[in-house]
Structure 1
Amino acid sequence: MTEKRLNKFISESGFCSRREADKLIEQNRVTINGQRPELGTKVQPGDSVEVDGKRIRASAADKTDRIYIAYNKPIGITCTTERDVEGNIIDAIGHKKRIFPIGRLDKPSEGLIFLTSDGDIVNKILRAENAHDKEYVVTVDKPVSERFIERMSRGVPILGTVTKPCTVKVVSKFVFKIILTQGLNRQIRRMCEFLGYEVTALKRTRIMNVSVDGLRPGQWRDLTAAEMAELNAAVAGSSKTAAEGHVRPAKRIKPGSEQRDGQAKPRSGNPRRPGGMGEGRGVLDRPQGKNPQGQKPQGNSGKAKRPADKPTKAVYVNPNAPSSKNKGQDKPAKKKTGGNTLTLKRKG
């Protein structure tokens, strides 16, 4: 055995996935030769690796000891390896070796899901940029319209991003088929909800070249040699992690910028208002004057245009000072005297 990163060594042994192995290392549950390692530590030939005191054996180089199964998950089963969760997928299958699911299906959803003891293949299948097909048959609460199909296939804004274009076809009045290459959280349900539909049934029928056909809900089988050959060929060029500079960050949608049909509101084309010149802001910094019609400017709309080559300097104006137009009228009126009021006059 050549040296390997610790998380890879653990995942290849079939104990768990690489992501879960990283969590175990962070929780100080892993030791190498009795010492607690850091993330990224490499295992050397002859090292003793333990998780919670249990020895982890190195996997066979030819992967003959790996498990790959296809399972038709029924509604109500939760895709978790936590055995204390009622209805967890591990207890539902009851496999004699330690396995874990590749991806997940929501508890109210059903259909095909892979389980394996090979942590090395998990990220290759799951990473969105590897673009591996997953096919679903979906039933909704309203008749499927042409506009709905067009919007779903073009992409829908959910979870702060826009879903990738996908293939969507009508199956019947309330049923459609969709093929995704993404795996966002509750993606299909959120997409339908955004367009005003509610999912009443969801079934995954295919992952890449493997179909759920022939498996009743709750049944599982080992992947065939032919299926594994196609699967390995499909992921041969897949990256386990995102290649640097290869994946662009998801386009963010500003809150409130979505219209009803999911399209971002078009910009007006007008230049942005300079800071301090908006309504209720920068009153003391505005240049005062009259426009060509002799009216006082109001905000930006009434401001007279100035030549671009003659910048004007903003002048401070006290808003409480009397204007020249009303000079003499802003003085407080003298109080009238009368009655028995005594008025004293100073001798000149």
Structure 2
Amino acid sequence: MRLQKYLAHAGVASRRASEAIIAAGRVTVGGTVVRDPATDVGEDDDVRVDGSPVAPVRVTVVFAVNKPAGVVSTAQDTHGRPTVVDLVPAGTRRLYPVGRLDADTTGLILLTDDGELADLLTHPRYEVPKVYLARVAGAVDDAALRQLRDGVELDDGRTLPATVERINPHTLRLTLREGRKRQVRRMCEAVGHPVEALRRVRLGPLDVGRLREGEWRALDAREVQALRDAPKPVRRPGRRG
């Protein structure tokens, strides 16, 4: 197994984050610092991160959480704010969020110790759909809807076309296939309708369902497999796959 995959399976971090940890010289195999994420390692190898031994988790878990406002989407917070990991019974597992929601955004977020699954759901090449309900300032007209659907020019480039439904003059249902920082808020502000409240209700095949804010549930094997089957590589002109 490649080293970055080994770390992801151990719940250290996602594959991409594990590559950065390896490049920083924080990982040793058999007492030797290794900087190549493609290094092959086995179950009997002594793999350590910052001197602490790690081993792949045999059985992984995935929690669905309805994140309340004011809770941050990180495993730890240097400012002492409550985190999504605090909401679930992590035990000794190293859980981390699948993607992020702003502190002020509520709704569905996944927590897992399966780094490979996290990568499948968040890597840009797969464009896994994420569905949001946004209450915005002002009545949204047809022109603003067309802009959101066609793509909005932001400071980090034009967004992909989005599926946008107008639930009522002040509420939109948006389906995005990319995950830029504060993307829904930035898109709506760019078309003249700043977000007043934002909630994610769906990620890939999984809906937030009946979970109340602050509640969680562990996904069953069927649901986890549906998440694994959701990512489909998408190649677009001018986009790296």
Same-fold status (TM-score > 0.5):
yes
| C-alpha distance in structure 1 between counterparts of 2:7 and 2:225, whole Å | 24
Aligned to 1:153: 149
Aligned to 1:82: 76
Identify which of 223, 226, 232 aligns with 2:222. Answer: 226
Task: Map 1:122-137 onto structure 2 (within 5 A).
Answer: 122-137=118-133
Q: 2:8·2:114 contact (CA, 8 Å) conserved in 1?
A: yes
Number of corresponding residues: 236
Q: What per-residue deviation string (whole Å, max 9, x for no partner) do you get for residues 135-154 of structure 1? A: 11000110111111111111
Amino acid at match of 1:178: L
Q: Which segments of structure 1 move beyond 6 Å, counting only runs of 4 or more?
A: none
Aligned to 2:47: 49
Q: 2:23·2:36 contact (CA, 8 Å) conserved in 1?
A: yes
The structure having more radius of gyration, on CA atoms, is 1
Q: 2:188·2:194 contact (CA, 8 Å) conserved in 1?
A: yes
For the aligned residue pairs, the C-alpha RMSD in angstroms reads 1.9
Q: Structure 1 stretch 19-28 or stretch 128-137: which is displaced more?
A: 19-28
In the alignment, is residue 58 of structure 1 matched against residue 53 of structure 2?
A: no
Amino acid at match of 1:147: A
Q: 1:101·1:114 contact (CA, 8 Å) conserved in 2?
A: yes
Amino acid at match of 1:26: A
- What secondary structure is seen at the aligned counterpart in 2 of 1:14? coil
Amino acid at match of 1:95: A
Aligned to 1:215: 211
Task: Map 1:166-205 onto structure 2 (within 5 A).
Answer: 166-205=162-201
Against the structure 1 CA distance between its residues 34 and 118, is the aligned structure 2 distance closer, same or farther, given a 3 Å change threshold? same
Aligned to 1:164: 160
Aligned to 1:72: 66
Q: CA deviation at 1:232?
A: 2.4
| C-alpha distance in structure 1 between counterparts of 2:74 and 2:224, whole Å | 24
Amino acid at match of 2:105: S
- In the alignment, structure 1 segments of 5+ residues that lack a partner are 251-348
TM-score, with normalisation over the residues of structure 1?
0.64
Aligned to 2:34: 37
User: If each structure's helix is expressed as a fraction of its own residues, which one has the higher value?
Assistant: 2
- What secondary structure is seen at the aligned counterpart in 2 of 1:42? coil
| C-alpha distance in structure 1 between counterparts of 2:95 and 2:56, whole Å | 16
Aligned to 1:327: none
| C-alpha distance in structure 1 between counterparts of 2:11 and 2:193, whole Å | 41
Amino acid at match of 1:218: G
Amino acid at match of 1:143: A
| C-alpha distance in structure 2 between counterparts of 1:218 and 1:194, whole Å | 31
| C-alpha distance in structure 2 between counterparts of 1:111 and 1:17, whole Å | 22
- What secondary structure is seen at the aligned counterpart in 1 of 2:184? helix
- What secondary structure is seen at the aligned counterpart in 2 of 1:22? helix
Task: Map 1:90-101 onto structure 2 (within 5 A).
Answer: 90-96=85-91, 97-101=93-97
| C-alpha distance in structure 1 between counterparts of 2:156 and 2:95, whole Å | 33
User: If each structure's strand is expressed as a fraction of its own residues, which one has the higher value?
Assistant: 2
Against the structure 1 CA distance between its residues 227 and 46, is the aligned structure 2 distance closer, same or farther, given a 3 Å change threshold? closer
Q: What per-residue deviation string (whole Å, max 9, x for no partner) do you get for residues 104-144 of structure 1? A: 00111110011111001122111233132111100011011
Q: 1:83·1:90 contact (CA, 8 Å) conserved in 2?
A: no
| C-alpha distance in structure 2 between counterparts of 1:147 and 1:13, whole Å | 48
Aligned to 1:144: 140
Q: 1:83·1:91 contact (CA, 8 Å) conserved in 2?
A: no
TM-score, with normalisation over the residues of structure 2?
0.90
Q: What per-residue deviation string (whole Å, max 9, x for no partner) do you get for residues 19-56 of structure 1? A: 23223223332211111111222214531101222211
Amino acid at match of 1:89: V
Q: What per-residue deviation string (whole Å, max 9, x for no partner) do you get for residues 232-282 of structure 1? A: 2223xx45xx9xxx45446xxxxxxxxxxxxxxxxxxxxxxxxxxxxxxxx
Q: 2:11·2:56 contact (CA, 8 Å) conserved in 1?
A: no
